């Protein structure tokens, strides 16, 4: 019996059917089915008591694979300076971008998570979808190498790449401050609205408030990233 057939023996027929659905969505077939199961398993699965590995370690690797693929693509496509390339890279690897990719492939519907997390809207939470998308990218990389990961990236980050080149390349915090000042609003004020995750991998929620205009929140792996995303979200909702 082939190695990949042995690999399937301890995975239920129902689970294999679930995996086949996602493989159809991403147009890739996994040799090691355990990798894709792991990539779909949220830490809450089994009400947090499951001893089966979840996607957290894969997410760590996927974040780095995503950074490499994005940096390589920008090196080829972007003729601007390093600062401009860095801002575009940040936009392409942030949780919100990963979550949009996850929604394009309906990743949330395939995730394994606790009933309570499902009731709380876990299948469409940006933070969860972003993490799971990074984990999936890592699983694709481990299963098929950089070539497979690159194929997935080219297919599903295409829209993100197109959008980031259409947008103003100015830092969102700078743009927000300039726009608020020119429109007669107060200066943007940033505050920490929340923090989750372990100390070695925190996730910050920052709220930006522009007196006279309104507020918006952003999520990031550092306060600086979260501030930029909050500013970007407020810019996106600027009154027409």
Does residue 175 contact residue 235 with C-beta atoms inside 8 Å? yes
Residues 204 and 148: beta-carbon distance below 8 Å: no
pLDDT, position 42 = 93
Q: Where are the domains of the chain?
A: 3-166, 172-236
> What's the length of the chain?
240
124 is catalytic: no
Q: Which of 63, 96, 131, 207 is catalytic?
A: 63
Q: Residues of the chain whose pLDDT is less than 50?
A: 1-3, 5-6
Tell the residue number behind the tokens 């103003």, with chain if given: 168
For residues 62 and 142, give the distance between their C-alpha atoms in angstroms, rounded to a whole number: 10
Q: Kindly name the residue from 117, 131, 134, 160 that is annotated as catalytic.
A: 134
Instruction: Just give the CATH number of 3-166.
Output: 1.10.1520.10
Count CB atoms within 10 A of the CB of residue 52. 11
Q: CATH for 172-236, among 3.30.160.20, 3.40.470.10, 1.10.340.30, 3.40.50.720?
A: 3.30.160.20
Q: What pLDDT sits at residue 48?
A: 58
The CA angle 112-114-117, to the nearest 5 degrees, is 105
Active site residue 134: yes
* Residue 1 pLDDT: 38
Query: Is the distance from CB of 83 to CB of 174 less than 8 angstroms?
Result: no
Fold identical between 3-166 and 172-236?
no
Distance in angstroms (rounded) separating the CA atoms of residues 175 and 154: 30
pLDDT on residue 71: 96
């Amino acid at each position: 019996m082939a190695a990949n057939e042995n690999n399937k023996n301890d995975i239920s027929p129902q689970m294999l059917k679930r995996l086949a659905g996602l493989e159809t969505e991403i147009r890739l077939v996994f040799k090691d089915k355990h990798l894709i199961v792991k990539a779909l398993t949220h830490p809450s699965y089994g009400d947090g008591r499951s001893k089966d590995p979840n996607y957290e370690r894969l997410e760590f690797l996927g974040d780095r694979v995503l950074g490499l693929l994005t940096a390589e693509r920008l090196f080829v496509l972007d003729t601007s300076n390093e600062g401009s390339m860095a801002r575009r890279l940040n936009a392409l690897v942030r949780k919100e971008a990963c979550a949009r990719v996850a929604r394009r492939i309906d990743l949330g519907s395939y995730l394994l998570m606790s009933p309570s997390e499902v009731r709380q809207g876990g299948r469409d939470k940006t933070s969860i979808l972003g993490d799971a998308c990074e984990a999936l990218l890592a699983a694709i990389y481990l299963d098929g190498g950089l070539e497979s990961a690159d194929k997935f990236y080219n297919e599903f980050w295409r829209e993100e790449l197109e959008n980031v080149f259409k947008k103003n390349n100015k830092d969102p915090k700078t743009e927000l401050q300039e726009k608020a000042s020119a429109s007669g609003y107060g200066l943007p004020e940033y505050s920490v609205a929340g923090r989750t995750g372990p100390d070695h991998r925190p996730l910050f929620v920052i709220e930006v408030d522009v007196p006279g205009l309104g507020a918006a929140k952003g999520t990031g792996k550092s306060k600086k990233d979260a501030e930029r995303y909050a500013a970007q979200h407020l810019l996106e909702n600027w009154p027409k």
